[in-house]
Amino acid sequence: MPDDEKLDLVYGLEGLYDLMEDGEDELQSERPVCDELKEVTKQYDGEEHIAEGGMKRIYKVFDNKLKRHVALARLQNNMPRAAHDSFIREARLTALLEHPGIISVYNIGIDGEDMPFFTMELKVGKNLNEIVSDSSGTSLNHLLESFVRVCDAISYAHSKNVLHLDIKPDNIQMGQFGEVKVCDWGLGKIIGEEDGAEFDQLLFNPDLLNNMTLSGEIKGTPGYMAPEQIRGEDKTQQTDIFSLGCVLYYILCGKPAFAGGVQDMLARTLVGDFLEPSLRSDLWLVPESLNAVVNKAMSSEIDGRYNSVEELKNEVHNYLAGRSTHAEKAGPLKELKLFWKRNKTLCTLTSLFVVILITGAIVFTFQLQQKNTELKKESERAEQSRLAAEKEKDLAQAALKRTENERSLVKALVDKRSIDVVKVYNFTDRMVFHNPKLYLNQAQGLLEKIEPLDSEYAWATMQLGYVHFLKQQFREAKALFEISDNDPELHALALRYTQTSQPGQLLEVSVLQNLLDDLLENEYRLADVLKIVLYDSTQREDAEERASLAKFLLQKINLAWNQPSMIYDEKEKSLKLSGQGLVRLAVESKQLHQTGPSPDRRIFVTGGLRFQTLDLSESSFKHLELLEGLKLKELNICQSEVQDLSALENFDKLEILRISKGAFNQEQLALIPDYIEVFEQ
């Protein structure tokens, strides 16, 4: 074929192809998507059952019109036809609430089997119950932030006069990107309508919708229902607030507030019988602020709860923001700590600035004062020299007084007064521990026969002042010490307590204890302290006051006595002492420092108490020989540290001994005299 003819044939074929393509373009539709939508005969297919409740079943389906998966809800097969309208009302009620935190309804309708259905947003993620049950991957603050979003959704519903009435962890869906959805508004109730409501809101006639449930029984979930729901009373916003409080409780504890059978949960809910979250939580250390919020939100009394969900949300938001909650009624110190926590950087910088400012001020002040330091030092040296000179003078005068006193004492010993000297010191330093009232009075009688102004007998004047001091007669003691001041320390104390005492009266117990503390600053005054207390016990009628003084002295001679316990019953003639560190009840005579003869036995600091039964159980008392001298009829050494019972042979008045069962072996028990009855307990 010639080349020209081949070229014409090619062009002709190209023209034919062009005509064919133009024909196809003319046959193609101008709106293929709409045409495809017209061809859809079944909107939902690929049903996959994903959840089921007591009243309805939920399926995952593919919407052929919207080209996405949605959730489709249908009633259970056994539900009566009378429930169909309520089912649709739930869908319409949910659709009315357009909020990011409330699941969206897409469509409602009647299927080919004349059964109602509605489609809604397909929930992705886990519900709050599942999240809290596996709390390893989350934090308390994250859960609280989600709770705030739940409060936002419920607060919005309340603004539309709609109550949820079935708020619980299972009805709160949480997505992986922070989405929070409140689901299942099947028990929702309209509590009123606002003026100027939109047309679709007017479709909801409260007379038709209110007080209706799909089950016709108690409306709500036991454990999350408010008391007024259980009693069938009017529901208010506080009803949902109670349920939100229960959800917050679950977040904090990982456990519902009310557990047990249905009837038990309902009964406990009615009276508010639940443990505070801080006492039950195994997940977190529940702060007191949230503890108080839960208690307020879950009050069994409506008036005790928050006025609105917004208030409850703000309380949790305050906690997350590092502020106190109104429910906890935080004090100034708590508010200061929270302020520091919220503004740590600012407070740190401010503190640093204050420290620098104070440091600068201190340095400046130091430099300013340094100029006067030498002058002050010179002044202090002069003053110290003057005081030292006065002290030397006082010491010299005291030495002179002592010399005169000792000279008069020696003179009395070599003349006819020698018998009186021996008697006086025997009475005041030895016999006084046997009968303080009798022997101090006898010593006073002997001393008063001596002329107090006779300088040859200054020892007698001083000793008479000492007797008056022991008897708390400070005015008389002061007057005599001024004549013969051989003891400046006692003279100063007599002067001080003259101002706080009443003539003829004993010091108050607290004041007397102060005097004893003053005396015990000098270790050589222990004998004087014992004499004062023993004489005081013969004059003081109040048994509790005498017991207080005895306990005071016991603590002084048992410095390691921890958590001291003392129970004294004068009517029962019993004394119980317990606590670790109690090792003795008496002072040994060799510990006393006196001019005259020492007492012939140990001195019990409990001498002013009248008891025959001594209970030393649960104490660290160890040595029974330290009790020799007490006239006891009954002794209890259970759970004490006593090991050696041999000293009991010297307790001739003891009738009953109480010991711990199994504390002693037979060899030890054999040491107990036959006249003592032993009780093991």
Distance CA 320, CA 335 (A): 14
Mean pLDDT to the nearest integer, 124-143: 85
- C-beta of residue 657 within 8 angstroms of C-beta of residue 672: yes
Residue 418 has pLDDT above 80, yes or no: no
Angle at 398 between CA 395 and CA 404, to 5 degrees: 145
More confident residue, 528 or 17: 528
- What pLDDT sits at residue 616? 93
Q: Are strands 172-174 and 574-578 parallel, antiparallel or unpaired?
A: unpaired
- What pLDDT sits at residue 337? 64
At residue 189, the 3 state secondary structure works out as strand
Per-residue confidence at 511, pLDDT binned at 50, 70, 90?
very high
Residue 344 has pLDDT above 60, yes or no: yes
- The least confident of 25-29, 431-435, 621-625 is 25-29
**Tokens describing residue 53:** 């409740």
Residue 197 has pLDDT above 50, yes or no: no
- The least confident of 65-79, 139-153, 339-353 is 339-353
Residue 593 has pLDDT above 50, yes or no: yes
- DSSP-derived secondary structure letter, 28: S
- What pLDDT sits at residue 196? 34
Residue 324 has pLDDT above 60, yes or no: yes
- What pLDDT sits at residue 308? 94
- According to DSSP, the residues that pair with 658 across neighbouring strands are 636, 679
Distance CA 413, CA 577 (A): 46
Distance CA 529, CA 556 (A): 11
Distance CA 245, CA 167 (A): 10
519-522: long-range contacts, CB 8 A cutoff, minimum separation 24: 519/493, 520/556, 522/489
Distance CA 666, CA 681 (A): 16
Q: What separation, in Å, do the N-terminal and C-terminal C-alpha atoms of the chain show?
A: 135
**Tokens describing residue 546:** 């005498």
